[in-house]
Structure 1
Amino acid sequence: MNEVRWGILGTGNIAHTFAKDFQYAKTGTLTAVASRNKDTADSFASEHDIELAMVDYYSLINSQEVDVVYIATPHSTHYELARAAILSGKSVLCEKPFTLNEAQAKTLFELAETHQVFVMEAMWTRFQPAIEQAIEWVEEGEIGDLMGIQASFNFKGPTDPQHRLLNPDLGGGALMDIGIYPVFLAQLFLGRPDFVQNQAVIGDTDVDVFEQIMLGWENGQLASLEASILSPAPNRAILSGTQGYIEFGSQWYKAKTITLVKSDDSEHAIEFDYEGEGYQFEIEEVNRCLEEGLLQSPNHSWQNTLNLLSTLDEIRQDMGVVYDDDETGIDSDELEHHHHEHHHHKH
């Protein structure tokens, strides 16, 4: 099959990391990048040796030079850009959160089905070697029955209220940007929870800045999760079972080490050696799925994304963090002229 040609929408931090890691993917070519600013597009293209620099997202989406569009723009733009890409027959890898809510995602997946286009949420962590190893150990019964999950994702975030992380118009807040990872981890192993609770701190811009989330399952499993954009932490994750536990190294979502500890305290540690941050693994997954003619990845399926957003919807509703797109629904005419009615809830 011909090399899959990739185009990147957006030139922020994540786009840079993705472009850097692209060289480590076994197949695929990075062909194009689009920004809303000519200088930014040009400098990104020259830095990452990309042939085409475009100054309009839609030029890239409609370009004949691109097979797959990687969407790395702010959360609030994902729905509209992914929709345009699907309608243009392009495969889509869209940064997490795939959309701002479950309803938007459902609409996009139905559209992808209709147009027979491959679409995946860019949950890069799912394809990291440490995660693959943990899945294998749990499936092999190495820790007995999985009972508990602890996971956190904290860092010292920006203070500028206009920054995408704090701006409700851009889908800001800790939950959608980083809390999504601990929730993803819990649901990867235990599926959609039966009980959802959280305690959140809402900042001055009406988005969440610090939260602890407790998920529970009917048959007795619990997940204790934390996210913060106020302060840093080692960001560890632990899977505990009846016969032992699995501990990820620091920054578990891209950990290079993982340890299996049995109930008799015997330890087995594995180190992973790979270049870059590990975005190449999700790139390879997309290329593989395209080669096999799949519309979704069996390893991070449409249902996985819907389940994730469904839980995030529930947590956000409880927190009182509301985005415009939650209120307008998904009618595409409505999307054209947003209703700017903010409902502010303070805790």
Structure 2
Amino acid sequence: MNEVRWGILGTGNIARTFANDFRHAKTGTLKAVASRNKDNADSFANDHDIELAMVDYYSLINSQEVDVVYIATPHSTHYELARAAILSGKAVLCEKPFTLNEAQAKELFELAEAHQVFMMEAMWTRFIPALEQAIEWIEEGEIGELLGIQASFNFKGPTDPEHRLLNPELGGGALLDVGIYPIFLAQLFLGRPDFVQNQVVIGDTDVDLFEQIMLGWESGQLASLEASILSPAPNRATLTGTQGYIEFGPEWYKSKSVRLIKADNSERAVEFDYEGEGYQFEVEEVNRCLIEGLLQSPNHSWQNTLNQLSTMDEIRQDMGVIYPEDGTSLDQDELDHHHHEHHHHKH
């Protein structure tokens, strides 16, 4: 497969950013887009020079013109669309959160394995040059032993209770939308935590709006994370070690700069210059994996996604934030118990 042909499911903001950045990818062709609304599909195709505009997600999934689908629809639809894509033999790049819970993701990965289909969660931040640089510095021992991680992702979200971010039916809440990034960063370096604590503000629609999460590891590391859909913030991230620390520029998850500050205050800064927001790097990763015949990316593996969802399941269970799709995977007794604890603040 030397020319990878892509199809996009969904025409929202994230799909738009992805399509804009796709032009900067060195490989691959953006071939098709699907929306449930014909006008949306047509205008999106027009804006991004996409040959095929389809009015039904399944016609794109079953199209012979496409090798890989990028799923950019609301959280609650990811599982069903990804499942259909696997059964149709299409590779899948699925927007985060990959699914609503770990149980759903496990099922999809087993299915992908059985059908020998490539799958990856679209954790674009993993592939941006600033993060690759930080990983390199840490692997080279530049900051000694990594001990602490601080990261936040806050923005001023919608106020309409029907909006997907506030709607439990659509997998709403701050955690799955933006909290996932700081959790990803912490677990990228330290793996699944041994201790999970959080403080949360729950809104009128029963989804989480603002939280601070503390993760701890038996081996002596801590992560202090924050997410919010109530207010904007500089959204910084810092990785601290015994010999120094690494600091990302503002909006760390798409930052084009990163600094290394040593214990003796000597400093190195690297700036990266590229077009767009940085989604092209995950596109290149998927294309590389497909050309090499891999089922998963070694850089953002199925296990990475399962670890993330497992931590988020635990946090949601503690918060009492439940989605219709959770079924019995989040234990009801636990939830009833947690509803009476002190860290539930109503907004």
- TM bucket, shorter chain: over 0.9
Aligned positions of 1:151-190 closer than 5 A = 151-190=151-190
The C-alpha deviation readout for 1:205-263, integer Å capped at 9, x for no partner, is 10000000000000110000000011100000000000000000000001111000000
Please tell me whether residue 305 in structure 1 is matched to residue 305 in structure 2. yes
* Structure 1 match to 2:332: none
* Structure 2 match to 1:44: 44
Please report how far the alpha carbon of residue 327 of structure 1 lies from its aligned counterpart in structure 2 after TM superposition: 1.2
Q: Is there any run of 5+ residues in structure 1 with no aligned partner, and where?
A: 330-341
Once residues 290 and 70 of structure 2 are traced to their aligned partners in structure 1, the CA distance between those partners, rounded to angstroms, is: 14
* Structure 2 match to 1:337: none
Q: Is contact 1:321-1:345 (8 Å) kept?
A: no
Q: Is contact 1:89-1:117 (8 Å) kept?
A: yes
* Structure 2 match to 1:113: 113
Please tell me whether residue 229 in structure 1 is matched to residue 229 in structure 2. yes
Aligned positions of 1:1-347 closer than 5 A = 1-327=1-327, 347=344
Letter in 2 for 1:265: N
The C-alpha deviation readout for 1:300-325, integer Å capped at 9, x for no partner, is 00000000000000000000000011
Q: Is contact 1:206-1:345 (8 Å) kept?
A: no
Letter in 1 for 2:141: G
* Matched residue SS, 1:99: coil
Please report how far the alpha carbon of residue 54 of structure 1 lies from its aligned counterpart in structure 2 after TM superposition: 0.4
Q: Give TM-score scaled by structure 1 length.
A: 0.95
Once residues 198 and 230 of structure 2 are traced to their aligned partners in structure 1, the CA distance between those partners, rounded to angstroms, is: 17
The C-alpha deviation readout for 1:268-302, integer Å capped at 9, x for no partner, is 00000010000000000000000000000000000
* Matched residue SS, 1:165: coil
Once residues 85 and 160 of structure 1 are traced to their aligned partners in structure 2, the CA distance between those partners, rounded to angstroms, is: 32
The C-alpha deviation readout for 1:121-161, integer Å capped at 9, x for no partner, is 00000001011000000010000000000000000000000
Q: Is contact 2:2-2:291 (8 Å) kept?
A: no
Once residues 135 and 190 of structure 1 are traced to their aligned partners in structure 2, the CA distance between those partners, rounded to angstroms, is: 12
RMSD: 1.5
Q: Is contact 2:76-2:171 (8 Å) kept?
A: yes
Please report how far the alpha carbon of residue 2 of structure 1 lies from its aligned counterpart in structure 2 after TM superposition: 3.2
The total of aligned residue pairs comes to 336
Q: Percent identity?
A: 85
Letter in 1 for 2:2: N
Letter in 2 for 1:135: I
Once residues 212 and 68 of structure 1 are traced to their aligned partners in structure 2, the CA distance between those partners, rounded to angstroms, is: 36
The C-alpha deviation readout for 1:92-132, integer Å capped at 9, x for no partner, is 00000000000000000000000000000000000010110
Letter in 1 for 2:132: E
Letter in 2 for 1:323: Y
Once residues 31 and 220 of structure 1 are traced to their aligned partners in structure 2, the CA distance between those partners, rounded to angstroms, is: 48
* Matched residue SS, 1:164: coil
* Structure 2 match to 1:332: none
Q: Give TM-score scaled by structure 2 length.
A: 0.95
Once residues 345 and 32 of structure 1 are traced to their aligned partners in structure 2, the CA distance between those partners, rounded to angstroms, is: 46
Q: Is contact 1:12-1:72 (8 Å) kept?
A: yes
Segments ≥4 residues shifted beyond 3 Å: 342-346
The C-alpha deviation readout for 1:37-70, integer Å capped at 9, x for no partner, is 0000000000000000000000000000000000
Please report how far the alpha carbon of residue 328 of structure 1 lies from its aligned counterpart in structure 2 after TM superposition: 6.0
Letter in 2 for 1:173: G
Q: Is there any run of 5+ residues in structure 2 with no aligned partner, and where?
A: 330-334
Letter in 2 for 1:20: N
